[in-house]
Structure 1
């Protein structure tokens, strides 16, 4: 039998017929060491108006692992029309992302090896199919690269918890797990992990603890968190596999027979000596302590967590945080050291694991211009108002403008009425008093839904047992109520609100850590509940913090830490009252003077320039001239493929339509906005086709189909013409089934596709 012509084989055939057999021949086990077509990322979420799609995920053709948890080689395959090294640059991206030292490219003739470990000479060289290295060969080189002896190898090769070899932690989680276990194997006893909110810090911690516990490296472990709900969620969810070896410290008498202890840090510490339950343990009882959200408590020298950590000073200690703190007064980096791994919000959004956002900024006149009382003016309680200019720093602290709160509640309600009145929403307020007033005004704006269920809007604050009791219901994706939660600080951290689609900020935020935590309430994706992105409604200019380099920068870009400096004094917020230093004014009008929407760009930053300039910049990177764009558009078999590619590069067609005109096709938006051509609406293009003699070449049924396609284009755009799915809806169902339309009316798929191409040519050119 003749051998198949390699040049005619698909990439997948090259893998099946040449690459996989070469790996098996070299000793790789297809069941436990070889994974094919591995999605490394999910693909960035692309938002167009209220609709979403995903960019193409990064996918490795092969990931090879010597042990379950340690990927050591990646292979990028190409078909045989490419040279052997064509996939190398792509493979190197994957290798760097996944901490993989040995990177290969292949076209079925052989392999090109790139060595990131420094154990091969030269760094890049070709191998024949029969020369692919064995698992033992690559692992031996990996040991040299990592400096592993037998003891260290035993620790780092302990498997993570899994019930399926094919289901592994996400690549960044595995990086964090492996780097932490390696650091401990190498004797490091203070470790910091920085992972954006929503990326699975607790799951990552579980896998670290599991491997160290199973290997016998660490035998008694304490996991500390500062919210009871976090401890309970951890025990019942991520840490569940520990089973009977695990306990939660809940009382003042501890049982020392367990191995895994979970605790609210307040439960093991206090101001009185007898309340320090942790001292019932000997200082060397725990050999591993993991501190969740370590930016809040353990960074300060005199914090209660630090007291616990100092007591168990001989234990290995791991800090987990989304927002590394590095200020003049507190530093978790000073305590834990440089992070062994950082996974940022920007990277999480780029990979498609976190939800992108848009910012709806609303500026109010009194916030920007300030307000001064008239001489002798009193507030609603008859208290004389101090004569000075009040501005945004004062509002809802020393001065309450009730009509301002009313206006904010109205704008929030209007937004939800346009997007979805049952979209989970958190409104962050200055204080508990402000949160209660906001709840009242939101109730009045949404009286119809509150009438149906009073839990539609709730205040969830630390002083309200009734509100706190609703926190779990707000978090649960399948719980409809509550929908809107007003809060001040309680929901700012540690609340896993997977379906939160709107975050309203009506409080001043001057801490980058607090800002990141608040934004983190919306970054989770939940596909089952159609949560792919979220909106930030900003009434206090807080979104300007997105422009701060520290927002998504490296943790050491802040002020140099001074361990002996005294922390600043904190002035208490004046409680709500009818007098004192807080005035309540109910007869001052407040108006909106500016509104604008900012979108998350492809470069991971908010788009601050005009959409027109932004679009022009991104389109001309690929199409420098109108002629180059028109040539590609005319030649493209699928026009939508060009549009999808431009979307992936950051072009926001729906947002552009909102500004330029909803009646314009993306083709006309590009020609007009980028290249200055006069646009035609979709209806104008359809009329041009109908006036031409394009239809004369087709019989009655075919003409009816094409005319219906034109109507679909007029309403929805080019995607409706190119999708075969359109044939499954009215009015096509009255003409025939998709198969009948294609095969009977047009005489086959080739003829149908040819008719569509001619229709598109007539739409977009002068030729019909």
Structure 2
């Protein structure tokens, strides 16, 4: 078959799959089908390879080329265009044909001549005839509508970053760019922005159907909820009242759906016809790329043609989709729109460096969309250095999956590193030290004013690690089951209901997860993230860290954390495994476990130590291991052993040193050599030779390093050692160097602000006047200053400033564990400009000045203040401490009104009251 004929054969096959009927000119029958491809159709410039007819009308042309011409296929576009503009024999209408294809059978390129700027694009397959009919019925093409008909974007209720994203995307689509990337920080409203674009593409762009790809099934549910909640700016109805939205939970696409929400795993299952694993959609693609390297071979599926979607929105477009699952994206003839908070070089490359909007995390914090964070470190001795379990120690051995324990001696000295904790070895003391250190730090240093534990998320390594953490958390905090819950796909309770409670209810206060809340999932009240697992991928780590960045208003935060005294202003990342530092290098060497007994046996057999004790010991270990392995581990070992199952490997070893079978082999060998022997007349050399022959055959499989590693790793994966013997202790607990630098930056920003605005803000002007000025500092002045400082980009709340000073100038700061009052801003300003040598709460300063003032008054007066007068003066002092000043109107407030108010205090002090108030306002504040 010539290359040209081979190409035609492949083209014919793809046309047939797409629903076209193929005819030679001699058998022309345009009534035989809706879509017909006629070979070698004559034109006035020569015969066209294929002319496409739908409903008897010529609509397109295909120029066929041999596969070797693939790299130059765009050079024949002029030839295709010539046929499209030529006069077709027997055709009355000479209008140019709109649909132009070039194909080698392997490669297909397509141009729609009706587009504003016709440009060819590569297709996975040919369109169905019905698609061309549908396009011909429309007055404009999709690209034409994107080019000239998209109305101005209503900006009401949209943030600037969302406006920039939607308008930037629409400009990119108008320019017919096939791929576009929207880079928006976590928490900035990527999904809301995407839905805004989807709405406009459906309503004004005339899109037929849009695919919304998500990372996990859980994020699919979340996206569906956002579609249901979305209210367009130009319609009173919800999105789902206007358009059909289908969240794919099966392999059937609703033909009436205009938006389909799906994981890429589900979409691959639909295209391939392969059943999807029940848990495949529960793991983030960041996790799946670690566990599977199998290529995804996507073939044409007539039930889901390439024209099924006009646009594909890829939410959280992690790099793994460009490796393992890229063919799913290549399959559809659709614009690709990527949304991510954590792009890398590969992301930029995949989207042709077409970044239509960029909104960084730093910008989002400056705008008040997100909150900043501090890094707090917990380092324990065993986390840092590991430990060793001595041989012959009696400890628990726990099955990783069933959690079943057996009490047994260790086979050999087992050294383990911090990286191996909670994989091959579990040290409950290490977990307990970390959790106790976290509790102490949060209660006394991080959120000292909270009465309840702030909403906390702990990232665990595995499901069994999560269970261990939960048990320790409940014990350390002295709380019940509701306090701490596991939120993973393997949780016995419904993970969605637990997540909802974690987000909206008082309990649980602490959630432990492996991967379910690692990316995308929105839990705004989170204020503490504890990392008890390391993360290899920088992008994935940023996604995990992003769970804490969302801002939250005071009322919403107080609803779940009642003792919160302000809006959410920050979150704290507690690093218990060095995750912050491990990201400084792209790759880290894996530490190997030294001296494990089974490994020694395997290695000895491979080298040649094949005495009976060694052979039988290995057989016994394999028999024990065989009973513990799951089907996947069995399959891996069997494949590595050349098809021999684990139990057969063990049986072969036992049989190899069986004395009776050795004798039988020796006799058979002698007989084959023509030597007459009986059991009694066999020589020692013949028996030894027979033994060595049998043992060599039984041990041959273990020459394979791959098999030895599979056996050893299967043992490690299946069973954990519970180290109750080595007790851990904390080495360091405190803010990281990064947090220290951040605190210094906060203090410098505060100092710069005071210096630059001292003449224009009344409260600052007060402090720069003469010490004995008569001007009164009012609560409104302090409130105005606080508002100016706490707004973006500074975000300098009183609590944040006090915390920064406590970290940088620890010895000079008092009362860091006290609940902050607005008037503490006075103390901060005085300390910042050098008026006070110590930073202590404003109420403490007022107390001290009050004691000096009242002592001086009593010494100067003929008669000291009475007990009743002193009590009223203390009440007035307390009011000044919380409000900066006192006046007659303030006696209407509850704290003073309950004591009798202005009428009562006037009867106590008489005409001296106003003078005393003026004096206290001046002396106690300034």
Does 2:184 align with 1:195? yes
CA drift at 1:347: 1.9
Partner of 2:814: 661
**Pairs aligned (count):** 567
Asked if 1:508 corresponds to 2:545, the answer is no
CA contact (8 A) 1:290 1:320 kept: yes
Structure 1 distance, partners of 2:865, 2:435, is 59
Say whether 1:457 aligns with 2:484.
yes
Deviation, 1:404, is 0.8
Write the distance in 2 (CA, Å) between the matches of 1:729 and 1:598.
45
Aligned positions of 1:359-438 closer than 5 A: 359-374=375-390, 379-381=395-397, 382=408, 384=410, 390-414=416-440, 419-421=450-452, 423-438=454-469
Mapped to 2, the partners of 1:623 and 1:509 lie a distance apart of: 43
Aligned to 2:268: 269
**Distance in structure 2 (CA, Å) of the matches to 1:613 and 1:176:** 31
Query: Which of 521, 525, 530 is the matching residue for 1:495?
Result: 521
More displaced stretch, 286-295 vs 211-220: 211-220
Looking at structure 1, the residues matched to 410 and 885 of structure 2 have their Cα atoms a distance apart, in angstroms, of 66
Q: 1:429 to 1:236 in 2, by over 3 A?
A: closer
Q: Considering fraction of residues, name the structure with more helix.
A: 2
Distance 2:161 2:255 in 1: 35
Per-residue CA distance 1:386-424 (angstroms, 9 max, x = gap): 657644322223332111112223344556766354643
Closer, same or farther in 2 for the Cα pair 1:376/1:331, shift >3 Å?
farther
Q: Distance in 1 between matches of 2:731 and 2:343?
A: 36
What is the correspondence of 1:564-603 to structure 2 with a 5 Å cutoff?
Answer: 582-597=720-735
The answer to whether residue 330 in structure 2 is matched with residue 310 in structure 1 is yes
The residue aligned with 2:218 is: 229
Deviation for aligned residue 1:283: 1.2
Instruction: Tell me how far 1:545 sits from its aligned partner.
Output: 7.7
Q: What SS class does the counterpart of residue 387 from structure 2 fall into?
A: coil
Residues 54-79 of structure 1 show CA distances to partners (whole Å, capped at 9, x for unaligned) of xxxxxxxxxxxxxxxxxxxxxxxxxx
Spell out, residue by residue over 1:646-680, the C-alpha distance to the aligned partner (whole angstroms, 9 max, x if none): 66654744324694112996555655576385448
Distance in 2 separating the partners of 1:544 and 1:717: 43
Given that residues 181 and 351 in structure 2 are in contact (C-alpha distance below 8 angstroms), is that contact kept between their aligned partners in structure 1? Answer: no
In the TM superposition, what is the alpha-carbon distance from 1:688 to its structure 2 partner? 2.2
SS in 2 for 1:289: strand
**Structure 1 residues 711 and 254, CA, compared in 2 at 3 Å: closer, same or farther?**
closer
* Matched-pair contact (CA < 8 Å) for 2:145–2:205: no
Pair 1:735-2:900 in alignment: yes
CA distance in 2, matches of 1:292, 1:508: 24
- Work out the CA distance in 2 between the residues paired with 1:192 and 1:368: 40
Q: 1:573 to 1:757 in 2, by over 3 A?
A: farther
Is 1:319 equivalent to 2:350 in the alignment? Answer: no
Hey, what does 1:710 align to over in structure 2? 877
> Closer, same or farther in 2 for the Cα pair 1:721/1:180, shift >3 Å?
farther
Matched, 1:351 2:483: no
Contact 2:145–2:206 (Cα < 8 Å) also in 1: no
Over 3 Å counting, the alpha-carbon distance change for 1:645 and 1:261 in structure 2 is closer
Q: Find the aligned partners of 1:229 and 1:526 in 2 and give their Cα distance.
A: 22
1:139-190 alpha-carbon deviations (Å, 9 max, x no partner)? xxxxxxxxxx996674342555xxxx8x421221111111111211122220
TM-score (norm 2): 0.53
Normalised by the length of structure 1, the TM-score is 0.63
Q: Secondary structure at the match of 1:466?
A: coil
Name the SS for the 1:237 alignment partner. helix
Name structure 2 gaps, 5 residues minimum.
Answer: 1-142, 229-237, 275-297, 398-407, 558-566, 587-705, 759-763, 839-843
CA distance in 2, matches of 1:588, 1:392: 13
Distance in structure 2 (CA, Å) of the matches to 1:362 and 1:727: 50
In 1, Cα distance between equivalents of 2:471 and 2:202? 51
Q: Decide whether aligned partners of structure 1 residues 696 and 256 sit closer, same or farther in structure 2, where only a CA change above 3 A counts.
A: farther
Alignment partner, residue 759 of structure 1? 920
Q: Which moved more, 1:692-701 or 1:359-368?
A: 692-701
What does 1:630-645 correspond to in 2, within 5 Å?
630-631=768-769, 637-638=777-778, 640=782, 641=784
- For the residue of structure 2 that corresponds to 1:427, the secondary structure is strand
SS in 1 for 2:769: helix
The farther-off stretch of 317-326 and 278-287 is 278-287
Q: Tell me the CA shift for residue 204 of structure 1.
A: 0.6
Residue pair 2:891, 2:902 contacting (<8 A) in 1 also: no
Cα distance in 2 for residues equivalent to 1:508 and 1:578: 19
| CA spacing shift, 1:415–1:661, aligned 2, 3 Å | closer
The aligned runs of 1:511-550 (5 Å cut-off) are 511-527=537-553, 528-530=555-557, 532-533=568-569, 534-544=571-581
Structure 2 Cα separation of the partners of residues 262 and 745 of structure 1: 74
Change (3 A) 1:459 1:764: closer
Aligned counterparts of 2:874 and 2:768: Cα–Cα separation in 1? 25
**1:675 aligns to what?**
834
1:209 to 182, 192, 198: 198
* Corresponding residue number in structure 1 for 2:307: 284
CA contact (8 A) 1:190 1:318 kept: yes
1:241 maps to what in 2? 239
Structure 1 counterpart of 2:81: none
Unaligned runs of 5+ in 1: 1-148, 550-568, 600-605
Are the counterparts in 1 of residues 502 and 511 from structure 2 also a CA contact under 8 Å? Answer: no
Alpha-carbon offset, residue 435 of structure 1: 0.7
2:354 aligns with one of 321, 324, 338: 338
Deviation at 1:261, TM superposition (A): 2.1
Q: Which of residues 687, 707, 710 is equivalent to 2:851?
A: 687
Instruction: Say if 1:228 and 1:642 are closer, same or farther in 2 by CA, change over 3 A.
Output: closer
Shift in Å, 1:308:
1.7
| Matched ranges for 1:598-617 at <5 A | 607-609=739-741, 615=747
**How far has the Cα of 1:295 moved from its partner?**
1.3
Determine the C-alpha separation between the residues in 2 that align with 1:344 and 1:545.
23
Shift of 1:360: 3.1
Match in the other structure for 2:751: 619
Please state how far the C-alpha of 1:725 moved relative to its aligned partner. Answer: 7.0
Distance verdict in 2 for CA 1:511–1:426, change over 3 Å: same
| SS at 1:608 equivalent | helix
Distance in 2 between the 1:572 and 1:732 partners?
A: 79
What is the DSSP-based 3-state SS (H/G/I as helix, E as strand, rest coil) of the residue aligned with 1:509? Answer: coil
Cα shift at 1:191: 0.5
- 467-476 vs 212-221, which deviates more? 467-476
Name the residue aligned to 2:675. none
* RMSD between aligned residues: 4.7
Query: Given the superposition, is the C-alpha separation of residues 442 and 353 from structure 1 closer, same or farther in structure 2, using an over 3 Å criterion?
Result: same
SS in 2 for 1:708: helix
Q: 2:502 touches 2:508 (CA, 8 Å); kept in 1?
A: no
SS at match of 2:488: coil
Tell me, yes or no, if the aligned pair for 2:365 and 2:371 is still in contact at 8 Å: yes
1:178 matched residue in structure 2: 167
Structure 2 CA distance, aligned partners of 1:371 and 1:723?
A: 70
Cα distance, 1:736–1:489 mapped onto 2, change above 3 Å? same
